[in-house]
Amino acid sequence: MELEMELISMNSPYDVIVDKERDSLIICDLGNKRVVRWPRRNGTGGETLISNISCMGLTMDENGSLYVTDNGKHEVRRYGSGDTEGTVVAGGNGSGNRLDQLSNPCYIFVDRDHAVYVSDHSNYRVMKWEEGAKRGIVVAGGKGEGNSLSQLADPMESLLINWALSMWLIVILIESCVGQKEPHREVSLLVETAKEDGRIN
């Protein structure tokens, strides 16, 4: 990932993660079509890691590899240390609803087996791509827009923010319930708290 220039401003930053190893933030600077690294403390400027990318979501695995969605190319790429081109790990076959395609991918999550979960915005579904897979599988939605329990829907405004909150809630639920004797009870309590706070409805 090449460091290109010093930054003093951003335009529509869309997603952010913390790189604890380098004590910095990695940010999708969507309006400037780039991914940037920014110091966590006393930062007045940053560095470009990836250019010419319509990034709306990113994450990092335990090996330090960076996974980035490209909303323009309808794909997810993985970037290792020193990698400037990246490797396609999901999508990359144009916009569409086939199992080897994505349409406006947004937020992502990578599990311990390096499977990639993608919120596939315009297909109203969440996809899972195993490491090295050429096609993904639908793990939620995928039956058009709607409000039945088998569908996902566009809440008219701030769909992507709701995706982020949903992913955040899933992570919080998993982390909070590990080791609990009654995980279902803990999940119920956390969901009720989230409802009271207005994070979900």
Residues 25 and 59 in one domain: yes
pLDDT score recorded for residue 73: 96
Render pLDDT for 61-74 as a digit per residue (tens, 0 to 9).
999 999 999 999 99
Residues 96 and 170 in one domain: no
Residues 111 and 179 in one domain: no
Residues 109 and 56 in one domain: yes
CATH number at residue 70: 2.120.10.30
Bigger pLDDT: 25 or 2?
25
- Which domain range does residue 135 map to? 6-153
Residues 41 and 125 in one domain: yes
- Residue 139 makes CB contacts below 8 A (sequence gap 6+) with 117, 126, 127, 128
* Number of domain units in the chain: 2
Bigger pLDDT: 171 or 115?
115
Q: Is the pTM of this model over 0.75?
A: no
Least confident of 82-91, 105-114, 190-199: 190-199
- Residue 5, phi-psi category: left (phi > 0), alpha (psi -120 to 50), beta (remainder): beta
Quick check: is 119 in a domain? yes
Quick check: is 67 in a domain? yes
Where residue 143 falls among pLDDT bands split at 50, 70, 90?
confident
- The upper half-sphere exposure of residue 111, i.e. CA atoms within 13 Å in the direction of its Cβ, equals 11
Residues 91 and 161 in one domain: no
Render pLDDT for 144-189 as a digit per residue (tens, 0 to 9).
887 777 777 753 333 344 445 455 555 544 444 445 545 445 445 5
Position 95 pLDDT exceeds 80: yes
Residues 145 and 177 in one domain: no
Integer CA distances (angstroms), 36 to 86, 96, 140, in order: 15, 29, 31
Rounded average pLDDT over 94-121: 92
Residues 115 and 180 in one domain: no
CB 86 within 8 A of CB 79: yes
Among 155, 104, 110, 153, CA closest to 129:
110
